[in-house]
Chain A
Amino acid sequence: AQSVAQPEDQVNVAEGNPLTVKCTYSVSGNPYLFWYVQYPNRGLQFLLKYITGDNLVKGSYGFEAEFNKSQTSFHLKKPSALVSDSALYFCAVRDPWRAGTASKLTFGTGTRLQVTL
């Protein structure tokens, strides 16, 4: 079974500082990995994904994530945080070897990012 762990419930960072939101995964084969962001009372917005190729993936709003197979991690990073980045961030994994487009996306429990001035 596939699973995702986000060990931090909340991450606090000052504006302008780099941020990291941690994610580790467990899946039988090579994973598809995703990061989503959720603002209050809204659905999730796609940030970036790793499918194959370069381990460093760049996404929306200046975010990037690094796929580390040996550590089974996919941490989300941003060099300089903004107050507007404050939101709930979800890491998700999908096993690509499941049949068809109905394969399940498994989400982590989410990490609340709080960026302060």
Chain B
Amino acid sequence: GAVVSQHPSRVICKSGTSVKIECRSLDFQATTMFWYRQFPKQSLMLMATSNEGSKATYEQGVEKDKFLINHASLTLSTLTVTSAHPEDSSFYICSARVQTGAPLDNSPLHFGNGTRLTVT
């Protein structure tokens, strides 16, 4: 089946530093990847849609300059949390869909295992 690999699984950083999270589709190509943020005991919040070769599409309320997304290839998207602060501590999950090219694509999302970010 389709596998999405996310790295690192856990990272602790100091306030003011930047952290990069990688998301790779291992056995399929993904022109689109999705980045979610999950707060404790809450649902997933879509942060942005990462588009290969073009700019990411950010959801309302998500700071573009703080959460930099780069989708440089068909199998890799990165999320960089810049100038991290303790309130950025969260569980970040990426996902991708195996695109069938069908007009109404109904294939499910495949998720990475998430990255637990702790900013001290």
A interface residues with partner B (beta carbon < 8 Å): 32, 34, 36, 41-46, 49, 51, 90, 96-97, 100-102, 104-105, 107-110
- Main SS at interface, chain A: loop
A51–B106 alpha-carbon span in the complex (Å): 7
By size class, the interface of chain B is 20 to 34
Are the C-beta atoms of A43 and B114 separated by less than 8 Å? yes
Chain A positions within 8 Å of B108 at CB level: 34, 46, 49
In the complex, the answer to whether B43 meets A42 with C-beta atoms within 8 Å is no
Interface positions of B (Cβ within 8 A of A):
4, 6, 9, 31-32, 34, 41-44, 46, 49, 51, 57, 91, 93, 95, 97, 99, 104-106, 108-114, 116
Main secondary structure of the interface of B (DSSP, over half): strand
Point out the residues of chain A lying under 8 angstroms from B34, CB to CB. 105
State whether A102 and B42 are in contact (beta carbons under 8 Å apart), knowing that A44-B93, A49-B106 are contacts in the complex: no
A62 to B37, CA, bound (A): 29
A107 touches B43 (CB 8 A): yes
Q: Which residues of B contact A46 (CB under 8 A)?
A: 108-110
Q: Which B residues are in CB contact (< 8 Å) with A41?
A: 9, 91, 113-114, 116
Q: Given A32-B106, A96-B106, A104-B46, check contact A43 B112 (CB 8 Å).
A: yes
Q: Is the CB of B42 within 8 A of A43?
A: no
